[in-house]
Amino acid sequence: MNKRIDESRLRKILGGLMLALFLAALDQTIIAVVLPNIAHELALPEYLPWVVSAYLLAMTVATPIAGKLGDLFGRTRLLYGAIVLFICASLLCSLTRNIAELVAARTLQGIAAGAMMTCILGLIGELIAPAERGRYQAWFSGMYAIASLAGPLLGTFIGEWSWRGVFLINLPLGLVALFLAQRGLQGLANSRTTSKVDYLGCGLLILSLVSLMLLITRIGHGEPWRSAEHAAMLLTGTLGIMAFSYWQTKAREPLIPPTLLRIPTLRAGLILMLFSNFLSLGLAVLIPLQAQSSNATLLLIALASGVPVGAYSGGRLSSHLKRYKPLILAGCAALPLTLSGIAWTVGSQLPLLTFLFLTGIALGLQFPTVLVAIQNAAPHTQLGVATACCGLVRGLGGALGRHC
């Protein structure tokens, strides 16, 4: 693919990519408010949490594999396939007759969403010069936050008609996203590498991640952590990670090249991204639990609205300064202060809203700039893998923050 394109062509491409990212992020949260309706119609309410968790688990597991496949076969082809799969899976979700079918369809949705997000962020890194990536990645971080915030609100509105409507809305929006993406990307060469798929590595990674994510999810749903089943999951996940790590040092075409993780900037960025997403999702769950129900939505809005403000400001400043490290450090330095403010102002609404908004800004400063730092540090041939690693740690951090 051409590494640099003109501004007008880029804006045409961004429309479809941002809409696709919006859909992937939206379906993380839009389903939550219609779960009671689903339980009433499909019964078996004890399995309802898996309607949400299956999507998040599949999305997390799919990201590193999608990153490698994007490097091998081209991100544009994989993106088109992922959008089509997302549309089909959404249709299946709307037609399900029981909880088992809905969880299976949500799993397909999650796989497609993980591939979509990885391809989109990888394309931004491929199409845009390093000095300008922060500005555009900020748009996508802001869109992600807006979609997460809009999910419950849109779900409430559509749920008054039918819970199946929260999936049917993806059909026209998905088709528009596919049309816009194809129109914008048409004629651009499909960048790809000439290596093979590490099938054994894929299998080991899926086995270990599914085991660990299932363990986190089950414990987060209130199941007792001391059980033989959970011990087996922990053992399987741990041994799977060890086997995967060993195999990556021996494989001719590793799924996640060990040399990539030896880059200091990339290691530090992944750790920071894990912590940031743990914190953001943890606060999104914890703060409403500590507040009165009438204030929960307002508190979430304060936190979520700060993220796009910080992301946009950080992206613009990084493009202007041609540096991203000062902004990352500023966000890291601000977090202890804003979190201390939250701890001391719980119960006092206006100060709490202020500190939540400032926390969102501090987190927003980090999201696009850390991603840009990782993409700039990674070799161009491994851009998709590096971006996918970001999605992987983002999903793990979110799962830990949501369930711990």
Pick from 152, 156, 163: nearest CA to 39: 163
pLDDT score for 218? 78
- What is the pLDDT averaged over residues 245-257? 87
- What is the pLDDT averaged over residues 149-168? 83
**3-class SS at 257?**
coil
Q: How far is the C-alpha of 152 from the C-alpha of 195, rounded, in Å?
A: 42
User: How many other C-beta atoms can be found within 10 angstroms of the C-beta atom of residue 294?
Assistant: 7
Domain ranges of the chain: 7-197+253-403, 198-252
Tokens of 353: 């809203």
Tokens of 402: 């949501």
- What is the pLDDT averaged over residues 237-255? 90
Pick from 209, 199, 194: nearest CA to 391: 209
- Condensed to tens digits (0 to 9), the pLDDT of residues 342-390 reads 888 877 778 888 998 999 899 888 877 888 888 888 887 787 788 888 8
What secondary structure letter does DSSP report for 382?
G
Cβ neighbours of residue 215 closer than 8 Å, sequence gap 6 or more = 230, 233, 234, 237
**3-class SS at 227?**
coil
- Condensed to tens digits (0 to 9), the pLDDT of residues 292-348 reads 555 666 777 788 788 888 877 877 777 777 777 888 888 899 999 998 988 888 777
Q: How confident is the model at residue 192 (pLDDT cuts 50, 70, 90)?
A: low
Q: How confident is the model at residue 169 (pLDDT cuts 50, 70, 90)?
A: very high
Model confidence at 160: pLDDT above 90: no
Model confidence at 4: pLDDT above 60: no
More confident residue, 244 or 380: 244
Helix 264-290 and helix 349-377, axial crossing angle in degrees, nearest 10: 160
Model confidence at 1: pLDDT above 50: no
pTM, full prediction: 0.80
User: How many other C-beta atoms can be found within 10 angstroms of the C-beta atom of residue 190?
Assistant: 12
- What is the pLDDT averaged over residues 237-254? 90
Q: How far is the C-alpha of 152 from the C-alpha of 395, rounded, in Å?
A: 20
More confident residue, 93 or 13: 93
Q: Are 255 and 205 in contact (CB under 8 A)?
A: yes
Model confidence at 105: pLDDT above 90: yes
Pick from 296, 394, 317, 382: nearest CA to 122: 382
Q: How confident is the model at residue 173 (pLDDT cuts 50, 70, 90)?
A: very high
Cβ neighbours of residue 220 closer than 8 Å, sequence gap 6 or more = 399, 402, 403, 404
Q: Are 367 and 390 in contact (CB under 8 A)?
A: no
Mean of pLDDT over the chain = 82
Helices (H), 160-263: 165-168, 170-185, 199-220, 228-250, 258-261
At the top level of CATH, the class of 7-197+253-403 is mainly alpha
pLDDT score for 289? 61
Percent of the chain with pLDDT over 90: 20
pLDDT score for 3? 47
Cβ neighbours of residue 81 closer than 8 Å, sequence gap 6 or more = 115
pLDDT score for 110? 93
- Condensed to tens digits (0 to 9), the pLDDT of residues 48-89 reads 778 888 888 888 888 888 888 887 778 888 999 999 999 999
Q: How far is the C-alpha of 83 from the C-alpha of 24, rounded, in Å?
A: 9
- What is the pLDDT averaged over residues 268-281? 86
